[in-house]
Structure 1
Amino acid sequence: MAHNLNFNADNNEYAFFSVKQRAWHGLGKIVEQYPTSAEAIKYAGLDYTVEKRPLFTFDTENHTGDPDSDILIPEIEVPNYFANVRTDTEKVLGVVGKDYQIVQNIDAFEFFDAIVGGGDGILYETAGALGNGERIFITAKLPGYIRVGKDDFIEKYLFLTTSHDGFGSITAAFTPIRIVCNNTLNAAMRNHTDAIKIRHTASANDRLKQAHKLMGISNNLADELKDVFNHWSKVRITDAEVKKLIQVAMVPNKEVLNNLMAGKNDELSTTYTNIVDKVYEYAMSSPTQQMETTAGTLFGAYSSVTGYFQNVRNYKDGEAKFKSIIEGTAKQRAQTAFDLCSDFSKHLTTNFLTLN
């Protein structure tokens, strides 16, 4: 089952909710209005707590050969290790060390509410739990949007995931979404970070409450993105320059990069050249690339890379697509494209291979 959503046998429901649009897996609860955090945590089946409980081991002795004569040796406590147990189902979610700090699901929602002081500005889009409830995720829309030109709007989203199994950190990421073509962007601003990771230590909850400040999530960040994208929408770029930018942005390894730098195009793999051709075709023919802000502009060149991963590339399933955009290849390529466009806008040069 690729979605791996937690299924609650008591209420016969999957631990997932979405606003208005049903997710790719077709499961969970669909609601028409944006819920409060208190409502969202219930809709998503996240209204449970986790406890750290001591671990014990035991053994048996049998000197008769009769299995019914087993003697149970007294339990021995395992030092410095604990089981994280979900209290409503008594499921063990993972084994953790003595310094591991549980961050309850409700604390994750408080991270979002802290951004707007607990007001009505946060709009919860999706949330859910995976496996037995050992990992949760939340996506929420931030107040306002970024406007590029007259007709291009970019909404501001936050994604957070945390776990109760002892693996992985608490991760929060800033993700703008382009409304016109639902084009997911993962642009990391210089002098800011688009993601933060927090270890499950004693200070985890305090750090989580301040995470949005560390991430620079504010109107200042939105204003900077707005200024960058609007500037890019006025910077002209030729078709040949777009093709070259795409070639560099989509480089998968140093070998391909070296071949590009040496002009050994005949040694480039068929897979790589096909991807470049598809991204370039999207840049030249997609309706969203023919707008005033995108046609022949640097913003359009950047959008062609991110738009390929959102609207053209084939994935195994929706989960694979989601992971690629949030933390995988799609995000990495978008970051490279963002850096290339940023340098191009400053130098107005096509020599992408020598940048950075």
Structure 2
Amino acid sequence: MGHNIHFNEKTGKHSFFSVKQPAWHKLGKVVEDYPTSAEAIHYAGLDYEVIKSPLFTKCGDLSVGTNGLENTQTAIQVNSHFATMRTDTNKVFGIVGKDYGIVQNKDAFSFFDAIVKEEKGVKFETAGALGDGERVFITAKLADHILVGKDDLVEKYLFLTTSHDGSGSITAAFTPIRVVCQNTLNAAMNRKSNVVRIRHTSGAKERLQQAHKLMGLVTDTADKLGTVFNQWAKVKIKDKQVKRLIELAMAPNKDTLDRLYKGEYEHISTAFKNQCEEAFAYAMMGDTQLLPTTEGTLFGAYNAVTGYFQNVRNFKSEEDKTKSILLGGTAQMKGQKAFDLCVDFAKNGEGILKV
């Protein structure tokens, strides 16, 4: 699996840091103590500036003069667009419009600094840059956690990513992670979003500094998730219903869903059936699925889908995995579908999971 962590040729270091434990790619700096935002920026190699540089085009022709071929082209500045580039390496990231607002890496950390002022115990755990430094990510762990059963812990994280190439908004998300298997349990409740998105405009920095106010839903969401997960840990579900939930949650399109409902398995793709079998095997035999909170329970069924994408499925790169699980990609959508199916099962019983 590729990592795409930025390597700075000037410093000879990878732009990544983690606390106490090295990441799977074994790159970057490992520190023993949780850093301040200023230290995290330095450890992760994010202490560079990004600017908007003017773009130019040329008009005119090459002509033949007394001295031979002459260049009579004139350089004209393009006023509607600019190139974004980092000043330490002069690497051009992308082309953006004139209204695009640059959010420096240090400004991205201001989102967490604002939260720290109100909620003690926020700890920076990882940060880094991808590609040539055009995409930056930060994860911070909140002080408390969600307890499912007697000892199944779900830690609460905030994840933020931003880009410097015009490819996306600044995105900050509440991300619960089940400790025993590092399984990300992303789900929006009651049609609320666990995500804050800020466009790169002139006021982006100021809105980022205030974004913690919008993240007030984190405490409310975590409390509700804790109640839901503990309820699900007491709801029994049969193996055949778990398999059905996996199939319905992971169906790639309406046609597949229709065929599942009609029992037309011979017309369903082998690749999809293999995915479902792998997820079901994880549900039945994974070590973390054999705990009192997960074995034969609805909470375990939900973890079967989310855990498949987190711990079983292979992605082309860590960046692809992050996009899929955290940034509205396939894994997050399938996890949300599984969550919704579990909500329906807990409320109405067998329902559409009846086989």
TM-score above 0.5: yes
Change (3 A) 1:75 1:118: farther
**Is 1:206 equivalent to 2:167 in the alignment?**
no
CA contact 1:113–1:119 (8 Å) conserved in 2? no
Q: Does 1:21 align with 2:26?
A: no
8 Å contact from structure 2 (residues 17, 31) kept in 1: yes
Partners of 2:131 and 2:300 in 1: CA distance: 40
Q: CA deviation at 1:109?
A: 0.4
| Per-residue deviation, 1:135 | 1.6
TM-score by length of structure 2 reads 0.91
Tell me how far apart the structure 1 counterparts of residues 244 and 325 of structure 2 sit (CA, whole Å). 23
Provide, for residues 203-239 of structure 1, a one-character-per-residue CA deviation record: whole Å limited to 9, x for no partner. Answer: 3123222333334443222111111111111122222
Shift in Å at residue 62 of structure 1?
A: 4.1
Does the Cα contact within 8 Å between 1:241 and 1:350 map onto a contact in 2?
no
Partner of 2:130: 130
* Deviations 1:7-63 (CA, angstroms, capped at 9, x unpaired): 222221121112222223322112122111110001111112222233233467442
Question: Does the 8 Å CA contact 2:48/2:88 hold for their aligned counterparts?
Answer: yes
Q: 1:347 to 1:119 in 2, by over 3 A?
A: closer
- Return the offset for 1:174: 1.8
Once the two structures are overlaid, the 10-residue window that deviates more, 305-314 or 160-169, is: 305-314
Output the CA distance in 2 between the equivalents of 1:19 and 1:65: 69
Cα offset, 1:240, TM superposition: 2.2
Q: Which residue of 1 aligns with 2:335?
A: 334
Does 2:55 match 1:32? no
- Note if 1:286 corresponds to 2:286: yes
- Residue in 1 that maps onto 2:264: 264
Is the 1:147–1:154 Cα contact (8 Å) retained in structure 2? yes
Alignment gaps of 5+ in structure 2: none
Partner of 1:80: 80
Say if 1:265 and 1:57 are closer, same or farther in 2 by CA, change over 3 A: closer
Bigger shift: residues 58-67 or 168-177: 58-67
SS of corresponding position for 1:155: strand
Which segment drifts farther, 236-245 or 330-339?
A: 236-245
Secondary structure in structure 1 of the residue aligned to 2:326: helix
Query: Which amino acid in structure 2 is aligned with residue 246 of structure 1?
Result: I
Partner residue in 2 for 1:142: 142
Larger RCO, structure (CA 8 Å, separation 6 or more): 2
Secondary structure of 2:81 counterpart: strand
The answer (yes or no) to whether the contact 2:234–2:293 under 8 Å persists in 1 is: yes
User: Normalising by the residue count of structure 1, what TM-score does the alignment of the two structures yield?
Assistant: 0.91
Q: Deviations along 1:105-157, whole A, 9 cap, x unmatched? A: 11110111212317652211211122332221111112211000101000111
Question: CA separation of 1:266/1:95 partners in 2, compared to 1, >3 Å: closer, same or farther?
Answer: closer
- Do 2:4 and 2:317's aligned partners in 1 also have CA atoms closer than 8 Å? no
Letter in 2 for 1:154: V
**1:193–1:216 CA contact under 8 A, matched in 2:** no
Q: Percent identity?
A: 58
CA distance 1:317–1:206, shift in 2 (3 Å): closer
Aligned counterpart, 1:195: 195
CA RMSD of aligned residues (A): 2.3
CA distance in structure 2 between the aligned counterparts of 1:270 and 1:131, rounded to whole angstroms: 34
Matched, 1:185 2:185: yes
| Structure 2 CA distance for partners of 1:212 and 1:345, relative to 1, 3 Å | farther
- Counterpart CA distance in 1 for 2:160 and 2:326 is 10
**Residue aligned with 1:274, SS:** helix
Secondary structure, counterpart of 2:64 in structure 1: coil
* Equivalent residues of 1:192, 1:216 under 8 A apart: no
Asked if 1:218 corresponds to 2:218, the answer is: yes
1:287-306 to structure 2, matched below 5 A, reads: 287-306=287-306
> Following TM superposition, by how much is the alpha carbon of 1:273 offset from its aligned partner in structure 2, in angstroms?
1.9
Further displaced range: 235-244 or 2-11? 2-11
Residues 63 and 72, structure 2, Cα contact 8 Å, conserved in 1:
no
- Name the aligned partner's letter for residue 144 of structure 1: D
Q: Say yes or no: does 1:348 pair with 2:349.
A: yes
Partner SS for 1:117 = helix
CA distance in 1, matches of 2:52, 2:351: 56
Q: Please say if residues 2 and 318 of structure 2, whose CA atoms lie closer than 8 Å, have aligned partners that are also in contact.
A: no
How much has 1:162 moved relative to structure 2? Answer: 0.9
CA distance in 2, matches of 1:316, 1:82: 31
| Deviation larger for 78-87 or 179-188 | 78-87
Partner Cα distance (1:27, 1:207) in 2: 33
Q: Is the 8 A contact 2:183 2:310 kept in 1?
A: yes
Figure out how many residues of one structure are paired with residues of the other and give that number.
Answer: 352
For 1:88, the aligned partner's letter is D
Structure 1 residue 352: deviation in Å? 4.2
